[in-house]
């Protein structure tokens, strides 16, 4: 059955973790969905979760679900805030969306310790420093 489904490759869609600002006590981070396509995407469903090993024990965060009716071409949407304490885990964002009647989906995973200054770029569209998977 799965072999009968069309292979819809996800391109020009990215998930990014951006540094929003910092106070004396902490840094503030947000996760964004970036639509670099020349067309809108619709009925966007995103699940997010963290998992991995911390202090020698397996750890899993809650699974969160986010829904956007539409993400216009060349724009972005804030998915959620993210706590720096989860950067030592795998942070997974599974994105599904429609273009017309075609469904697309892709899993974006920020590996442990990948959200670091050395990996920062200026995020397209969002125009903030951060790490992006596209």
Structure tokens of 101? 């009647």
What CA–CA distance (Å, rounded) separates 76 from 92?
Answer: 18
Instruction: Name, in order, each residue with C-beta under 8 angstroms of 27's C-beta and a sequence gap of 6 or more.
Output: 19, 21, 84
Entry field: residues in the chain: 134
Q: What is the pLDDT of residue 28?
A: 94
The pLDDT-based confidence of 81 (bands split at 50, 70, 90) is very high
Question: Check: CATH 2.60.40.10 for 2-113?
Answer: yes
The structure's pTM equals 0.91
pLDDT tens, residue by residue, 9-47: 899 999 999 999 988 888 999 999 999 999 999 999 999
What CA–CA distance (Å, rounded) separates 35 from 97?
Answer: 11
Domain ranges of the chain: 2-113
More confident residue, 8 or 72: 72
Q: What angle do CA 25, 78, 72 make, to 5 degrees?
A: 155
């Amino acid at each position: 059955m799965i072999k009968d489904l069309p292979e819809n490759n996800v391109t020009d869609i990215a998930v990014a973790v951006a540094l929003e600002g910092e106070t004396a006590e902490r840094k503030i981070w947000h996760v964004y969905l970036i639509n670099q396509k020349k067309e809108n995407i619709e009925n966007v469903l995103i699940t997010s979760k963290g998992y991995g090993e911390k202090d020698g024990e397996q750890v899993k965060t809650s699974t969160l679900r986010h829904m956007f009716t539409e993400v216009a071409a060349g724009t972005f949407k804030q998915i959620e805030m993210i706590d720096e304490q989860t950067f030592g885990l795998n942070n997974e964002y599974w994105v599904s969306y429609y273009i017309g009647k075609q469904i697309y989906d892709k899993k974006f995973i920020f590996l442990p310790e990948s959200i670091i200054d050395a990996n920062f770029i200026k995020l397209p569209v969002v125009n903030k420093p951060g790490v992006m998977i596209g």
